[in-house]
């Protein structure tokens, strides 16, 4: 098992160090950028993999995320943690990728009008049912992309709703409702 990754949000004391690191990256210091990569690549790869559903595409996306990050370093002002800033880049690229894929295959799947998981009076829910990692991974892969992104960042990666909102460019309330809908949808998928 890999070592635990640092959380996306950095304490104010860590922000100064982050800014100094980013400044070294801006100067073309390969070692500094490798440090950024080593710190954040695991979490970004995990999210990308679970967003796009296969490791090969996630590898390509991870490359794009870091190439894009390096090109956009000048726009990083340290207002948010570097991790959150990177998540935002990552999620934009993942969502662009999925939309472009969907437009190619004409499978637009982002409808979330229903409230799955409530109409289960006859079901016993998840009680007495083993919930394996594979079950979870499969069910998460079936979530609509919008709520999947929020769910992965909040429930899997452990970001606060405020950080999820920042990373996805949405309101905090929207983050909550997307995560809640994702959980209900997962419950329906897992009890099918």
Partner 1 sequence: MACARHVNAIQELVDGTLGSIRRAELELHLEQCEPCRRLADDLARIRDSAASLEPLTPPDRVWLQIAGRLRQEGRIAAPTPLAAARRTFMPLALAASLLLIVGASLYVLYPRGTAPDEAASAGNAPAADAVQGVETEFRLAEQHLQNAINKLQEAAKADDAAIDTQIASTLQKNLEVIDQAIAESRSALRQEPQSVPARDSLFDALKRKVSLLQDTIALMNQMRKGDAAGAAQIVDSANKS
Residues forming contacts to partner 1 in the complex (CB under 8 A) are 1-2, 5, 28-31, 33-34, 37-38, 41-43, 45-46, 49, 55, 58-59, 62-63, 66-67, 70-71, 115, 117-121, 124-127, 131, 133, 136-137, 140, 151, 155-156, 158, 161, 176, 179-180, 183-184, 186-187, 190-191
Structure tokens at 139: 């069910």
Least CB distance to partner 1 at residue 106 (A): 29
Q: Specify whether the backbone of 170 is left (phi greater than 0), alpha (psi in -120 to 50) or beta.
A: beta
Least CB distance to partner 1 at residue 151 (A): 7
Least CB distance to partner 1 at residue 89 (A): 14
Structure tokens at 155: 């429930």
Nearer to partner 1, 59 or 108 (CB): 59
Nearer to partner 1, 79 or 113 (CB): 113
Structure tokens at 179: 């995560």
- The string of DSSP letters for 106-153 reads T-------S-TTSS-TT--TTTT----HHHHHHHHHTS-HHHHHHHII
* CB 141, CB 50: distance < 8 Å: yes
Residues 6+ apart with CB under 8 A from 154: 160, 161, 164, 175, 179
Nearer to partner 1, 45 or 92 (CB): 45
Nearer to partner 1, 11 or 30 (CB): 30
Least CB distance to partner 1 at residue 127 (A): 6
Least CB distance to partner 1 at residue 128 (A): 11
C-alpha closest to that of 117 among 191, 181, 176, 188: 188
Nearer to partner 1, 71 or 104 (CB): 71
* CB 22, CB 72: distance < 8 Å: no
């Amino acid at each position: 098992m890999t070592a635990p990754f640092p959380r996306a949000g950095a304490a104010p004391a860590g922000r100064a160090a982050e800014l100094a690191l980013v400044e070294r990256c801006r100067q073309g210091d390969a070692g500094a950028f490798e440090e950024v990569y080593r710190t954040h690549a695991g979490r970004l790869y995990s999210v990308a993999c679970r967003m796009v559903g296969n490791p090969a595409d996630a590898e390509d996306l991870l490359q794009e995320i870091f190439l894009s990050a390096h090109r956009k370093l000048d726009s990083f002002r340290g207002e948010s943690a570097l991790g959150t800033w990177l998540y935002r880049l990552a999620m934009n690229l993942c969502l662009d990728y999925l939309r472009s894929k969907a437009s190619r295959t004409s499978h637009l799947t982002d409808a979330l009008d229903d409230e799955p998981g409530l109409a289960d009076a006859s079901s016993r829910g998840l009680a007495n049912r083993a919930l394996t990692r594979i079950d979870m991974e499969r069910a998460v892969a079936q979530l609509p992309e919008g709520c999947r992104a929020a769910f992965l960042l909040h429930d899997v990666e452990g970001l606060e709703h405020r950080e999820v909102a920042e990373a996805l460019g949405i309101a905090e309330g929207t983050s909550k409702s997307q995560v809640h809908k994702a959980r209900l949808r997962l419950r329906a998928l897992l009890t099918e």
